[in-house]
Structure 1
Amino acid sequence: MTKTVFSISKSQQAGSAQRWCDYMGEVYYPLDCTPLDPRSFEGSLTALQLSNLGISKFTADALRTVRRQQLSGTEEVVFIFPTREREHFGHLGIEDEVGPGEMYVLNSSEPYWTQIANKTQNVTIKVPANCVRERFPLLDRTYGRRNIANAGMVPIVAQLALQTFNMVPLVDPQVLKRTEDNILDLMCIMLETRNVSDVPESTTVALSDITFQRLSSFLSLHFRDPGLAPEHAAISLRVSLRYVHKVYQLHGTTFGRELMGLRLQEADRLLRAPYGKNSLPLPISEVAYICGFSSQSHFSARYKEHFGFTPNERRLNPSEDTA
């Protein structure tokens, strides 16, 4: 079990392309890497090697990566989960692209290329091909294609892989081995259940419930940000924007409704909060600002619409029941 961290900053531009190739080769296998702008290229790569799985996460500027034809060597596959920006790739005569919330699979024994934009982030899981084939015999049909996995399980697998980084070195190696086996099993289930109709309804609901809970936690942490948007939640949770909207739809609500509810509840708490003899209450404009509203007028209108009285009336009657 080894954990390594590599990085290239703007102050380390000399030979950056070759050093990035060396980093990628150490974590995956030999690759040719060509930055779009070698003079300003930046990237960071963190990798964890377990007994079978290699888990990595990276952020990099615009880059083209090429895997040359290999006549011998270990056959490995990489499962790539973009978490920010779309990624283009070509493999076995197929060219396509995927974005956050999706994934694609490449085989190290066949030539391929990938191309990414600035500030691209992804999670990659590398595993010997035979470890996957013994669980999922149809592996070879997935290479270089999109829409090959259960969309609900893609972010769960990616998130579990990321959480494994936090487990090292805090947990027993046997626990890590069980986690590794679970990730591999989930990856194969993710491929086997690529069609929603193949997934039992209870499983689909359970997956959306997990995502809904994660979205709720995200909103609780960030609702004060006036610029918060569904796209930010999708990037943070490493799911597609479409899936974010779908999860809220399955729970009979929307991102905007949940966000507004949190902002209004916090504003109501601040308006009702007691203050000491020598303390002054927060101005209503400041309450609006703290809770993420762009203006006091917008806040007051939405507050009255939700509670049935104005912020001023609430301040004068802090114990009055809400609508």
Structure 2
Amino acid sequence: MISFDLQKLKASERFGYWREVLCNVYVSLTPEPDDRFDFSGSVSDHDLNGIGVSKISSKKQIISRTPSGIRRDADAFYFLNLQTRGACGVVQLGQEQLTKQGEFVIVDSTEPFSLDYVSEDWEQYSFKIPKQMFDAHIGASRTALLKKVSAESAVGDIVINYLTSMARRAVQLDTNPDEIRKSMFDLIRLGLTEGEDGNPSRHCDMRSGLRQYILNFIELNFSDPTLNPAKAAAHFNISTRYLHKVLEEHELTFSQALLERRLQSCAEDLKRGRPRNISEVAFRWGFNDLSHFSRAFRRRYGTTPREYRRSEMEKSDF
């Protein structure tokens, strides 16, 4: 993760540095602020297995992608810009969109575009996706450009929630980036095709995407001792009954998937011998009942947590 915050610079130096930051993190861009003398902004950026995930905020300005900027860059990207505060007017290829909080559009770095941040205080999550990667997963189609996806629709809400969780936890997702990335593309495709007719597999795709999103939600939150099906269902704005229905095609139920993930992390801690207190291991990964933890662990690994740790530590001595 790299971060840039203009507040640490003198006011007279901020805007010049801002353009350098934008060009380094994104592509060659031309910003024009509403006020050069009262300017502030910040950018944080993390590479998630080839996809740049950034958080950007600033004051009112217009950021342009010009033909000269395009000529300076050798690589091509799509930018999925998710508005989390304020509003942005987007223009590309003769199309216009206004994105507000909880909405995103996609722009193409190989064509000129304009981003008019009309709010005095705005914030975005931006996903910098190599064009070749995007085309392989979504398809090389102009229809994806500037099609607005909004959290106001059922599918859009799921997609927006997933992308928001990804951006907030990008650093933590490095352990399993391929699966996270696949789910991201599946859900983006669902969001972009919402409302299209003549797609008989759409409902199946939707269920499959939501099922993976639920499993990823468990992956991100399994250490929370209060996590249960009702809490997960509330997060996705669906009923608990529907959550179970979505997962029933998968070989694990919600509770089984949650228990398995917690036990895996406990086993890893015990294998390393840290921390020494077994109850601390259990509580760290979401268990709040030691008897339940011991029984579940023995069913899963065929031995008690204490015996498992002793056996694993003895193996490491050889």
TM-score (norm. length: structure 2)? 0.57
Matched, 1:16 2:1: no
Could you list the per-position Cα deviations for residues 55-80 of structure 1 after superposition, in whole angstroms to 9, with x for gaps in the alignment? Answer: 00111111110111124622210001
Classify the secondary structure of the residue corresponding to 1:162: helix
CA distance in 2, matches of 1:54, 1:95: 25
Q: 1:68 to 1:154 in 2, by over 3 A?
A: same
Task: Specify which of 18, 35, 52 is matched with residue 33 of structure 2.
Answer: 35
What is the match of residue 219 of structure 1? none
The equivalent residue for 1:127 is: 129
The aligned runs of 1:156-167 (5 Å cut-off) are 156-167=161-172
User: Residue 77 of structure 1 aligns to which amino acid in structure 2?
Assistant: Y
Flag the structure with larger Rg: 1
Aligned to 2:221: none
- Three-state SS of the structure 1 residue aligned to 2:103 is coil
Matches within 5 A, 1:118-157: 118-137=120-139, 139-147=141-149, 150-157=155-162
SS at match of 1:80: strand
**Number of equivalent positions:** 210
Contact 1:21 1:33 in 2 (8 A): yes
One-letter code aligned to 1:81: L
2-structure distance, mates of 1:187, 1:31? 25
Please show how residues 57-206 of structure 1 align to structure 2 within 5 Å: 57-69=55-67, 70-71=70-71, 73-116=74-117, 117-137=119-139, 139-147=141-149, 150-167=155-172, 172=175, 175-193=176-194, 200=203, 203=207
- Which structure has greater helix proportion? 2
In 2: Cα distance, 1:80 partner to 1:74 partner: 19
- Judged with a 3 Å threshold, the aligned counterparts in structure 2 of structure 1 residues 193 and 52 are, in CA distance, closer, same or farther, namely farther
Question: Contact 1:92 / 1:144 at 8 angstroms: preserved in 2?
Answer: no
Partner letter of residue 160 of structure 1?
A: S
Report what 1:275 is aligned to.
none
Q: In structure 2, how many angstroms separate the alpha carbons of the residues matched to 1:84 and 1:75?
A: 27
Residue type matched to 1:73 in 2? A
Q: Which one-letter code corresponds to 1:200 in the other structure? A: H
Q: Indicate conservation of the 8 Å contact 2:82/2:102, yes or no.
A: yes
- Inter-partner Cα distance in structure 2 for 1:41 and 1:197: 49
1:250-302 alpha-carbon deviations (Å, 9 max, x no partner): 99xxxxxxxxxxxxxxxxxxxxxxxxxxxxxxxxxxxxxxxxxxxxxxxxxxx
Distance 2:129 2:82 in 1: 14
Aligned to 1:254: none
**Structure 1 position 184, deviation (Å):** 3.0
Q: Is residue 163–residue 184 contact of structure 2 (8 Å, CA) maintained in 1?
A: no
> Aligned partners of 1:18 and 1:58: how far apart in 2?
17
Partner residue, 2:224? none
- Whether the aligned pair in 2 keeps the contact of 1:9 and 1:41 (CA below 8 Å) is no
Aligned identity (percent) is 16
Q: Partner letter of residue 166 of structure 2?
A: A
Q: CA RMSD in A?
A: 3.5
Match of 1:50 among 48, 51, 61: 48
Once the two structures are superposed, residues 216-268 of structure 1 have per-residue CA deviations (whole angstroms, 9 ceiling, x without a partner) of xxxxxxxxxxxxxxxxxxxxxxxxxxxx9xx69x99xxxxxxxxxxxxxxxxx
Give 2:146's aligned amino acid: G
Q: What TM-score comes out, normalization by structure 1 length?
A: 0.56
